[in-house]
Amino acid sequence: MLFPITFLFVWLAIWSFVQIMVINKEKIEYFKKILDNSLFNLLIVIGWIIFIFFLIPFSPQAKLIGEGMFILNLIGQILIISGVLIFIWLFIKKRGLGAQEMDKLLTKGAYGFSRHPIYLGHMLIFYGLIFEIGAFDTLLLSPIIVILYLITAKIEEIYSIGKIFKDQYYDYRKKVPMFLKWWIILILCIIFISYFTISISYEFLIIIPHS
């Protein structure tokens, strides 16, 4: 698990600094100037994609194999396709692949079922890759990635989009979940944990340590 943890801590340091900049951008002009720079934001997005979609899932680590991988592979493919479809949906609706527009609060389309559909798409593809390649170490570390998404989204809502639209965003937040409705997430977690536990117990899934 050394490689995934190393990648995670390197990115965690970069991520933490960026969040500090977002929180303090109104107080420190230099931070605001950097965050308003298109090239900087592009590099952050590219870095996040490379880190989440390639470095962690494909780093040397313990892998899952066995007959139970057929189901995990199928789930992985569904998740990846779902994530890609969200991005296509956003692009077709001409919302771009960036965050909320600053001149008008988006509440329709993908933003009608998730306040952060881009992050949702990222997570679907991320878990899809984990299940597709059987990345066991990454699966264990994945809650940390989800927490990073949650904190990032919350910081954006407090210090950016929520600050701009205020009461309008407050009403929107009460109607639309951050990513998915809690009961959907709960059902999915119960199904996966049950399947994973049963599969490991009956050796439908076997963990092969990284040599």
Q: Is residue 17 part of a domain?
A: no
Interatomic CA distance for residues 106 and 48, integer angstroms: 24
pLDDT tens sequence across 44-94: 888 888 888 888 888 889 999 999 999 999 999 999 999 999 988 887 765
Q: At what angle do helices 2-24 and 38-50 cross, to 10 degrees?
A: 150
What is the model's pTM?
A: 0.89
Is residue 146 a part of any domain in this protein? yes
Total number of domains in the chain: 1
Range of the domain at 136: 62-208
Residues 95-140: tens digit of each pLDDT: 544 455 566 788 888 888 899 998 999 999 999 999 999 999 999 9
Per-residue pLDDT band at 211 (split at 50, 70, 90): low
The Cα 76–Cα 81 span in angstroms is 9
**Residue 121: Cβ within 10 Å count:** 23
Radius of gyration of the chain from Cα atoms?
19
SS3 208: strand
Q: Is 156 inside any structural domain?
A: yes
Contact (Cβ atoms closer than 8 angstroms) between residue 136 and residue 207: yes
Quote the pLDDT of residue 97: 45
Residue 45 lies in a domain: no
CA distances from 102 to 72, 97, 99, 111, 165 (A): 39, 14, 9, 14, 9
Residue 181 lies in a domain: yes
